[in-house]
Amino acid sequence: MKKIILIMALGIVTLVNGCVFKVPSTAPSVTNTYSSYNDKIVTKVVLVLDENLRDIQQPVNLKSHACSGHSYIVNLDDSLATSIRETTHTIFAEVVERPILPPKNILKRLGCAGTVYVKLSKLDATLDFGGPIWEESSTKASFALELFIKVQDPDGVILLDTSVEATRAVHGRWRFCFNGHHLLSNLIWQTIRETMEGYAEKLTNSREIRISFSLAPLVGKEGG
């Protein structure tokens, strides 16, 4: 009897103190891209990823009292930046990455036709545990992602100024709080993949980008 009471007491302490669950996600590759063209954009560009795309760690919003003693953290690290980087390489013949937008003389020295700047505009993750933590109940998870994109030629003329976003939601049945992050992890992967497909479609189908960049073919004067 004492043993049972001790186990129950330890369980209550765990519930009160709570745990921190990190929600990981790997970098998905682009699988489906709708394009009006059959080839890459044959030129060299500079890719600039905003610093807010690096080492992403963001709390998950809990929409219910169940499991509210716990914390959930979206732990993307650099996986989103990796997805953007790899997707950009599928669009252009050559990509050079830089931490900031380079001036015109540097672009000329690099032999680049322009710049692609990407910034994280929105990242929102939610979990809603529908019932008491000791009962199997419906759990809702959602994840929303939005990226801001700006493409410019060497003179600073804007060729594309837009956003791409994706939102995914799913219901699952879980008995314990620690299972919630598994549901969200798969959802994040799907949302990033959908966002990357939208990102690729907007760039590869842009007539302005193709016309402007075709005037500055790949020269590859200097490597990345």
Instruction: Tell me what the mean pLDDT of segment 169-190 comes to.
Output: 78
In whole angstroms, what is the distance from residue 61 CA to residue 11 CA? 24
In whole angstroms, what is the distance from residue 105 CA to residue 54 CA? 27
Q: What is the structure's pLDDT at 53? A: 95
Neighbouring CB atoms inside 10 A of 144's CB total 16
Q: What is the structure's pLDDT at 70? A: 79
The amino acid present at 159, given as its one-letter code, is: L
Q: What is the structure's pLDDT at 69? A: 75
Q: Identify whether the C-beta of residue 174 lies closer than 8 Å to the C-beta of residue 136.
A: yes
How do residues 6-53 score in pLDDT, each as one tens digit?
Answer: 333 334 334 444 687 777 667 776 756 666 677 889 999 999 999 999
Which H or E run contains 190? helix 180-204
pTM of the full predicted structure? 0.83
Q: What is the structure's pLDDT at 220? A: 45
Instruction: Tell me what the mean pLDDT of segment 179-185 comes to.
Output: 78
206 secondary structure, DSSP code: -
As a dihedral over the C-alpha atoms of residue 50, residue 52, residue 55, residue 59, rounded to 10 degrees, the angle is: -160
Q: What is the structure's pLDDT at 24? A: 67
Q: What is the structure's pLDDT at 18? A: 61
Q: What residues form DSSP beta bridges with 204?
A: none
Give residue 127's pLDDT band: very low, low, confident or very high (50, 70, 90): confident
Q: Is the pLDDT of residue 122 over 70?
A: yes
**Both structure tokens of 217:** 């073919």
Q: Is the pLDDT of residue 193 over 60?
A: yes
Superfamily of the domain at 20-214: Lipoprotein like domain (3.30.160.150)
Q: What is the structure's pLDDT at 31? A: 58
Could you state, in order of their start, the residue ranges of all structural domains in the chain? 20-214
Percent of the chain with pLDDT over 70: 76
Q: Is the pLDDT of residue 85 over 50?
A: yes
As a dihedral over the C-alpha atoms of residue 208, residue 50, residue 194, residue 74, rounded to 10 degrees, the angle is: -170
Short-list 119, 171, 170, 181, CA closest to 145? 119
In whole angstroms, what is the distance from residue 88 CA to residue 7 CA? 53
Q: What is the structure's pLDDT at 175? A: 57
